Amino acid sequence: MVNYCRVIGCHNRSDREKDRSFYRIPEVITNQCEKTHELSEERRRKWLASLNQDLTGKTVKNIRICSDHFIGKKKADLFASDNPDWTPSLNMGTSRQVNTPDNMSSRYFRKKGRAEKSDAAKTLLMFAENMSTDEPVEDLTPLPSEEPLPETEVEMLQKQLALAKEENEKLKCKNHELKEKLKNTNPYSESALEGNDEKVRSLTGLPCFALLMALFRLVEECLPPKMTLGKFECLVLTLARLRLNLTISFLAFQLAVSKSTISRIFVDVIDVLYVRTQGIVRWPEREELQKTMPLQFQKHFGKKCCVIIDCFEVFIECPSNLMARSETWSNYKHHNTVKFLIGIAPQGVVSFISKSWGGRTSDKFITEHCGFLNKLLPGDLILADRGFDIGDSVGTLSASVNIPAFTKGKGQLSPLDLEETRKIANVRIHVERVIGLVRQKFTFLNGTQPIDVVMTKDERGLTTIDKVAYVCCALVNMCESVVDFN
C-alpha cells in the first residue's frame, strides 16, 4: 500500500521516498491512565491544528504526515511534550504557526541544558543506573572539571545507595520465595504430584506418576503454549476435569484465570490427546487374540470370540431444535442423550469405540452403520445383549453373534437355552465392568453435557464429546485390565 504525505505542497510518497517515515494522526488513548488520555488528546488536537485542513468526510486514521515535517526527522514520544517534534512544525504548507520551529527548539534545548548542568541530577542518574543492574557501584565523585559536591552529601548518597541495594536484594529473595510457594501450592504442577502416586490416581485416574509423565512426553510437543499455565499443568487440569467432572468456574477460580482460558485449554488438550493416543484403542490381530485368550473364554467359546459389544449413553442438555430434541431423546434413560457403541476384547481392553449417535437410535442401527462390521473377519464370534439383533448383518461376513435367548412366546427357557445364556452372562459381565470403569474413573461422562460439546464439529466431523469418549477409553486401556487371566 502506498502512503502519501497529506501536508499541502509536500509530494512525498512511500513507494518513492523510501528513506522517509510516514506517521498517522495520533489516536486518543482511552485504556490507560488519565495523564495518557489527556496527553494523547492534546497531541491529536495539535497535529490536526498544524495540518490546518478541512477534513470533513475524510477518514482521519488514513492520513499520513512524513518525517520531513519534524525537526529531528522523527516524531517524539507521547510523554516528551516539551520536545519540538511532539507535533509536526516544518513546512506545513501554511504561515499560521503558533510557535516557530526555531523558538520551540531553542526553548527545548535551553531547558534540557539546565537539567544537564545539575551535579545532583547526574549523581541521581548514576544511582538509578547502578540500581538497575547487578554491576558494582562506580565512584560517584564528580569529574575534576566540575565543582565537587560536599563530602557529607556524597557520603549520604552512598549510604542511601547501600541501603537501597540491600533492600533490593531482600525483595529479590522474597520474590523468589513467593514464586516457589506459588509453584508448590498449584495442585496441578509437576512438583506437587511427583512421588505421590495416590494423588496422581485421585486427580488423573492414572495408576502412577511415571505413567503420567510418559503420557506427558507423548503429547508435550503438540500442546499449544499458554501464557498463564505450563503445558504440564494444562494436561493435568484436563485429566482432573475428566476424572472429577470439575466445572469450568471452579478451575478458573482455583487457578486465578478466566473461564474462557480454561475452556480453550480443555478443548485444545482433548484435541491433542485424541490424535496422539490413536494407537491405544485399536482392534487387535486375530493371532494376538488367540495367543492371549483368557481361560474362561476358552472354556465356553474356544478361541473364536473376538469382541463383546454394548452401548452406553451420556446425558446432554435438551436441544432447542425440535428435530434434534426428538433424535436425542432416550426412552430407556428418559432423558436427552448421545449413545456410543463400545467393543471390549476378551482380554478386557477397549478395542472399539464409535462416534456419538442420538439417544433414540437403536443399538442395531448403530452397529450396522458405525464402521464396526468392517473390523470383523470370517469365523469371528461376537457376544452381545438381546438388543443387538445383528445376526443377518454379521452373517454376510461369515461371522456369528451370540446373544441370550428370548422368553417371548415361551413360559420359560429350555435347559439348553438357559445354560447357553448363563455362559454368555458369565463373560458379558466383563463389558459391563469396563463400561462401569470408564464412567466411574472419569465421571465427566456421568454429568449432563452442554449442547455445544455435541453440536460443534471439526473438519473430520467429530464433536468434542466424541473425542472425550475416545480419550477416556484410551486412558482406561493404560490402566490394569479388569479381566482375570487365570
279-330 per-position pLDDT tens digit: 899 999 989 888 888 887 888 788 888 998 989 999 999 999 999 999 999 9
Residue 427 clears pLDDT 50, i.e. is over it: yes
Cα–Cα dist 264/228, whole Å: 12
Q: Which of 180-184, 202-206, 384-388, 439-443 has the lowest average pLDDT? A: 180-184
Residue 56 CB burial class (10 angstroms; 0-12, 13-18, ≥19): exposed
Alpha-helical (H) ranges within 186-321 are 190-193, 197-204, 209-219, 231-244, 248-255, 259-276, 286-291, 295-301
Four-CA torsion 450, 454, 456, 457, nearest 10 degrees: 160
Which of the two residues, 92 and 197, has the higher pLDDT score? 197
Q: Which of 151-165, 214-228, 260-274, 304-318 has the lowest average pLDDT? A: 151-165
When pLDDT is cut at 50, 70 and 90, the band that residue 209 belongs to is very high
Four-CA torsion 90, 93, 94, 95, nearest 10 degrees: 50
Residue 256 clears pLDDT 70, i.e. is over it: yes
The predicted model scores a pTM of 0.61
